[in-house]
């Protein structure tokens, strides 16, 4: 068994209202120096050795993300 992490983030040109809400709240909560926040999704998959990188990319692109507005990164941890 191996562990794979897929991180999905809005593309840089896409407005991120959730990230903006967090960035606006931080100074009110006493946290200074934060200039921007982007909020995304984090998935951890347990896979067996038969799952190749091409299949993982298809899963990330076709199911875990919306490739029109989001980018993704697939990393094998073990």
pTM of the model: 0.88
Residue 15 pLDDT greater than 70, yes or no: yes
Q: Are 72 and 60 in contact (CB under 8 A)?
A: yes
Pairing of strands 41-47, 70-76: unpaired
pLDDT tens string 36-77: 999 999 999 999 999 999 999 999 999 999 999 999 999 999
Residue 78 pLDDT greater than 80, yes or no: no
pLDDT tier for residue 1 given thresholds of 50, 70 and 90: confident
């Amino acid at each position: 068994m191996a562990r794979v992490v897929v991180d999905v983030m809005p593309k840089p040109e896409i407005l991120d209202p959730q990230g903006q809400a967090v960035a606006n709240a931080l100074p009110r909560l006493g946290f200074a120096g934060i200039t921007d926040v982007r909020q995304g999704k984090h998935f951890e998959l347990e896979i067996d050795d038969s799952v190749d990188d091409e299949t993982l990319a298809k899963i990330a692109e076709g199911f875990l993300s919306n490739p029109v507005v989001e980018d993704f990164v697939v990393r094998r941890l073990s």
